[in-house]
């Protein structure tokens, strides 16, 4: 009976092309949590392993944690009031990778180059001061998606942070530009900074990432800029940036972030509203303290087992009038486990090339055949004359 059920499930998942089975819960094990506390736990079960995924907004800092365990592993969360306190796994975690957007930076772009620069003034806006509200959610086996609205609790600071996190059980291109590929192993995350007030003349906003992985503490994460021939999905953008953990680099079984170096300055994402997104060098960072969700999650690890890094993502083009010109900046990235997905040349391209090259060749061949046959026949029809001539 069980076998039968498993078989049916297996066939169904094949039919739907599902790579993992998703089971997701909002604030699991927290009876007191209301809509202002959001933690989504997703268990994505695959054939060889299970990815436990946590999207946490409870402490203000948006955090995404991936933990990879065996197929049958499970995780439970112990809550302290409305904040997650302990994360317990039934089996030991094989690998874990996490990222948190712990701060926004308002920076003066004094050279008007677009990206954040040490020589110019900047101001940190920690996200622990932000209150988040769950705006929309889908928690099904076909899709796990939440959208969040965040406001600084300090009323003097206006502006809305809009975030959307999306996980599908199969590989697909995102609907919106820059149409990143998300897989069952990676989540698509959009972040928009809407109507922020600026306090400097040449203000732009940057996002500060804190990343932790269960790699050796003195190793490094690094990023590579890869060029692809295909800008079909992101018109005009040929580069893809991939941040990889040491394990992802060496064995393909680590964490990664993937994004295009492009942001958007309007709600409607298009080529004309695009702006540049810059990644800063990745540097070392002390482990987060126990007051944060990341700190709580990794508190049982030895310091030498944890690699903590930080980086900035900043946005802008020289001469674009800075953030205040549009009062809007949005950006997307995917966050996942394994090897970053590689985009493939679409069927359309292949068809055009094969038709385009095939038809003239066929025509030429048939033309040559036709001419040869005709000449042969002519020769056969007129043999006597040739003989007579001789």
Partner 1 sequence: MLCTGSIVSIVGNTINLLLPPATSKDPGSYKSLPVIEFNNVTIYFITRKLYSFVQYKQLASFSPCTYTLTTKDYKRRAQSSKMESSEAGGSSRLTQVPPTSWLHPSNRIHRFLALLLMCFLCFGSYFCYDSPGALADNFKNDSHLNTSQFALLYSIYSWPNVVLCFIGGYLVDRYFGVRLGTVIYMTIVFVGAVLFALGVYINTYWLMILGRFVFGIGGESLQVVVNNYVVLWFKGKELNMVFGLQLSFSRFGSTVNFWVMEPVYKWVANYYSGYEQLGVTLFLASLTCFISLICGVILGWMDYRAEKILGRQDESQSDEPVHLKDIRHFKPVFWLLSVICVSYYLAIFPFIALGKLFFERKFDFLPQAANNVNSMIYLLSAALSPFFGILIDKTGRNMTWVIISIVTTIAAHSIMAFTFFNPYIGVITLGISYSLLASGLWPLVALIVPENQLGTAYGICQAVQNMGLATVLILAGVIVDKYGYLMLEMFFLGCLFVALIAAVLINILDSANNGVLNMSPAMRESVKTNALTTGTDETTNLLDHEESTDQEEVDCKRIPESSLEDQRSMESRDISAAQSNRIRSRYLAQILPNTNVERQ
Give the interface with partner 1 as residue ranges (CB under 8 A): 227, 229-238, 270-272, 317, 319-321, 348-349, 352-353, 355-357, 359-360, 363-364, 367, 370-371, 374
Smallest distance from the beta carbon of 318 to partner 1, in angstroms?
9
Of 211, 223, 175, which is closest to residue 66 (Cα–Cα)?
Answer: 211
Alpha-helix residue ranges (DSSP H) falling in the chain? 2-15, 246-251, 293-297, 347-381, 383-389
What phi and psi, each to the nearest 5 degrees, are found at residue 76? Answer: -125, 150
In angstroms, the CA 246 to CA 214 distance is 10
Q: Which is nearer to partner 1, 197 or 346 (CB)?
A: 346
Q: Which is nearer to partner 1, 82 or 233 (CB)?
A: 233
Of 62, 55, 275, 321, which is closest to residue 177 (Cα–Cα)?
Answer: 275
Smallest distance from the beta carbon of 231 to partner 1, in angstroms?
4
Smallest distance from the beta carbon of 349 to partner 1, in angstroms?
6
Task: State CA 113 to chain mean position distance.
Answer: 26
Length of the chain: 390
In angstroms, the CA 17 to CA 28 distance is 28
In angstroms, the CA 41 to CA 140 distance is 12
Q: Which two tokens stand for residue 377?
A: 């026949």
Q: Which is nearer to partner 1, 17 or 321 (CB)?
A: 321
Q: Which is nearer to partner 1, 302 or 389 (CB)?
A: 389
Question: Rounded to whole angstroms, what are the CA distances from 101 to 138, 159, 224, 276?
Answer: 23, 16, 21, 19
Smallest distance from the beta carbon of 238 to partner 1, in angstroms?
5
Q: Report which secondary-structure segment, H or E, holds 134.
A: strand 130-139
Q: Which is nearer to partner 1, 230 or 300 (CB)?
A: 230
Q: Which is nearer to partner 1, 136 or 350 (CB)?
A: 350
Q: Which is nearer to partner 1, 203 or 265 (CB)?
A: 265
Smallest distance from the beta carbon of 112 to partner 1, in angstroms?
10
Q: Which is nearer to partner 1, 275 or 292 (CB)?
A: 275
Helix, strand, coil share (%) of the chain residues, nearest 5: 20, 40, 40
Smallest distance from the beta carbon of 117 to partner 1, in angstroms?
20
In angstroms, the CA 279 to CA 311 distance is 7
Q: Which is nearer to partner 1, 143 or 239 (CB)?
A: 239
Smallest distance from the beta carbon of 326 to partner 1, in angstroms?
10
Task: With beta carbons less than 8 A apart as the criterion, state whether 281 and 313 touch.
Answer: no
Smallest distance from the beta carbon of 100 to partner 1, in angstroms?
32
Smallest distance from the beta carbon of 237 to partner 1, in angstroms?
7
In angstroms, the CA 39 to CA 58 distance is 6
Say which residues have a Cβ less than 8 Å from residue 33's Cβ, sequence separation at least 6: 27, 39, 58, 79, 82
């Amino acid at each position: 009976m069980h076998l039968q059920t498993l078989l049916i499930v297996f066939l169904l998942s094949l039919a739907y092309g599902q790579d993992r089975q998703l089971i997701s819960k909002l604030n699991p094990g927290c009876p007191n949590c209301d809509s202002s506390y959001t933690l989504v736990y997703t268990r994505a079960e695959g054939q060889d392993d299970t990815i436990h995924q946590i999207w946490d907004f409870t402490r203000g800092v948006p955090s995404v944690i991936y933990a990879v365990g065996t197929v049958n592993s499970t995780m439970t969360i112990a809550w302290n009031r409305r904040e997650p306190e302990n994360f317990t796994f039934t089996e030991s975690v094989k690998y874990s990778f996490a990222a948190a957007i712990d701060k926004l930076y308002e920076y003066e772009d004094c050279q008007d180059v677009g990206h954040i620069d040490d020589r110019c003034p900047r101001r940190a806006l920690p996200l622990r001061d932000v209150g988040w509200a769950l705006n929309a959610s889908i928690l099904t086996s076909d899709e796990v998606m939440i959208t969040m609205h965040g406001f600084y609790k300090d009323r003097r600071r206006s502006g809305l942070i809009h975030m959307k996190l999306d996980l599908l059980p199969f590989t697909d291109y995102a609907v919106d530009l820059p149409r990143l590929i998300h897989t069952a192993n990676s989540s698509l995350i959009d972040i928009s900074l809407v109507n922020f007030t600026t306090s400097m003349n040449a203000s732009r906003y940057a996002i500060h990432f804190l990343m932790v992985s269960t790699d050796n503490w003195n190793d490094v994460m690094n990023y590579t800029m890869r060029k692809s021939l295909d800008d079909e999905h992101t018109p005009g953008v040929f580069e893809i940036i991939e941040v990889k953990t040491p394990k992802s680099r060496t064995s393909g079984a680590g964490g990664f972030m993937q994004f295009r170096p492009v942001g958007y300055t309007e709600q409607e994402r298009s080529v004309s509203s695009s702006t540049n997104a810059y990644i800063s060098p990745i540097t070392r960072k002390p482990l987060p303290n126990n007051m944060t969700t990341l700190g709580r999650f990794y508190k049982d690890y030895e310091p030498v087992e944890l690699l903590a890094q930080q980086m900035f993502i900043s946005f802008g083009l020289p001469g674009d009038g800075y953030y205040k010109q549009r009062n809007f900046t949005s950006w997307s990235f995917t966050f996942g486990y394994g090897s970053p997905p590689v985009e493939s040349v679409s069927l359309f391209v292949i068809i055009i090339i094969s038709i385009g090259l095939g038809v003239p060749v066929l025509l030429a061949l048939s033309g040559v055949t036709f001419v040869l046959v005709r000449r042969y026949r002519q020769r056969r029809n007129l043999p006597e004359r040739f003989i007579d001539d001789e």
